[in-house]
Chain A
Amino acid sequence: MGLTRFDVRNRIVCFWDMSKKKIVEFSRYPVAFIALFVQIFLIITMFLYASLAFTADPTAGPNDQSRQIGATVVYGFVVGLFLSFTLWEMGFSLREEQTRGTLESLYLSPASKIGSLLARVFAILVWVGTLSVFAVLFVGAVLGGLPVANAGLATVVLAFSVSGFLGIAFVFAGVTIKLKETAQFLVSFLQFFFMIFSAQFFPFRALPQPLVDYVSRWLPVSYCVDLFRSLMTGAIPELIPDVAVEFGIVVAFGIVSPVVGYAIYKRFERGARTAGSLGEY
């Protein structure tokens, strides 16, 4: 029995064991890790080259403008990376369990369900964090330095942002149970939606004003990108030119989103269990 009455220690041990399972899985595919590493550098390099095509003299060495472009791309990209991996990994991993036929058995175990969901993204988020540091160092090395104005507060913002992203990921994990394969396309769509409307690779001023006013400003993810980027570059946030207000929004997002997201997930899960379709794929 024991297992059925989880205390904090049990929960932590269980979470660690579930995370370890993912780490072991990842370690069997080292190529995937290297590929991810290479992929990130390629994406950044491509965007840097793309921006070169718009400069008057692409042969000129790094200057303030190129550093500003680099900072915009890489800091937005870091937030985008966390969002993408949180969204993808949770739903994808659930889908894998569904197709392998192990999801239903997992629900028979007394292990914490929220722990099981979080463990699916824990390892990859740690890896993304490492990659992000390397990505910033890489762009900094190419462009002869990047602005790092308020890294401490920016890290706090990133932590709350990731917590908020987990809420969205919970919702999509639930949607995956319900919609199965189609949910993956939905995640893809959402990923690109945020890429554009939360201005992950460019400043918000590049978007047409109506889009900023009627779409971007209503997305909490936009404030995560804006605040993290402006704190790192030392610039004034674009959406609301007040760090304290944007910080409040990001903190609220980080607290409310996982709670609401998990409640929605539980609703989907309950529905599937009642209908007996949890393991259907």
Chain B
Amino acid sequence: MSEVAVSPFREGLAREVAPPPSTIVIFGATGDLAHRKLAPALYTLRHEGQLPSRFAVVGYARSAFTSEKFAEDLKESVKEHTRVAFEPRAWDEFAQGVSYVTGEFGDAAGFERLKQELERVDKERGTAGNRLFYFATPPSFYPVLFQNLENAGLLDEPEGRFARVIVEKPFGRDLASARALNAEALKVADEDQIFRIDHYLGKETVQNILVFRFGNAIFEPLWNHKYVDHVQITVGESIGVEGRGKFYEEAGTLRDIVQNHMMQLLSLTAMEPPVSFAADAVRDEKIKVLRAMPVFGPREVAERVVRGQYGPGSVSGEDVPGYRAEPGVAPDSLTETYVACKFEVDNWRWAGVPFYVRAGKRLPKRVTEIAVQFKGVPHAIFSRPGSLPVSGVGRASGDPNVLALRIQPEEGISLKFGAKVPGARLSIEPVKMDFLYGSAFGAEPPEAYERLLLDALLGDSTLFIRKDEVEAAWGLVTAIHEGWADAAPPAFPNYEAGTWGPEAAAELLRKDGREWRRP
């Protein structure tokens, strides 16, 4: 492992450690992810002085490009997607370290060419043999990429150098394939060389869940079954499949959202305090949450999971087609575009507290939030017979206290509580106290990929997902898929685009005497 620089000159500056000289190799370098996310993130990091001067980017893909053509294409993408000003001079400096190797992902000769190119870059750019390989390819190529990197000797870590791999989600498509992929990867690399990315963890507001919970003394005492009635997690999108119908047919919402983003949000919400903010301390606590969640059998799947698929409808004032009419989607598709589940975390802290989660496409708005709904007051003094007439919190059907952590958009935290309406009458109305992230802090938060790329260069895996987390999450999700496979085919479509999902999802909470929030 290469050590990060620690210098007295960095004390008090924006970043107190700096990554070492290194090269990032992007597999799938001509693809959408590389152009829309990775290149702009790297340019921004360079622009802000967060990358070492001795840094290089090597693209690898099948298209027969020259390095010049690759750099020119990246430039256009950076211009379009960077969040900082595009400066030709800064770009020219960045582009001096950009090169490209043409090759198939399964082609050993291509990897030999890549190795030669990396040796040339090390020599000419002084990148010291440190390599970060980014798999921005379809997951089916991951095993062959790992194997060819190993065959070419590119995963070796001689003294003082690093070779790390960032793997994009989905890491597998069920428990068996995730295990097989982990086994393949760990045959050729150590766990601490593998950085499984879920870009949600790079979002400032997701990291703020931990700060909010463990950096403040007043919330944690309430954060348990004694005071929390239930938790709702919503990951809603107003868009449809946006031309990715073929991909979505293979994935569905359960694989695309619930297995990764949703499970990460749930485990951050429910985890115990880690002993430190070190990578394994945090991940040890997250995995305990996933392990405490019972794996569903067919009966639980039928009772606790609702799936849906949108039909035609109207979103944001525009008529939109149903899922089955999207390009690349089968006209009789049974792929789910909506999932709602009632999970439980069977441990001391959360016994009896349901975690209702829902994720879907073509919902009324794009929103991701975690809402912790607290129990009512133990004794409703404002609704005693003979007392002054009241409304609001004291009523059996009144508004409970809700703490909502909004991840996107309008990132922030709100707390709903009851307050007396001024006047002789004792009337209690709910009021909301809002903290808007953007109103309290001037600096624009970095893009998730900027943070995660920098962390990977520094070798900090706190915000990446460990093997056991991936497998535990797949274990939960695969059981649901198996339950669905045994059940009768669903009657899709079952919700109108622009609504909050199928009626059965509302019923899932209604039968528990609860209802979904309107986020």
Please say whether chains A and B are actual partners in one complex. no
Interface residues of A (CB under 8 A from B): none
Interface residues of B (CB under 8 A from A): none
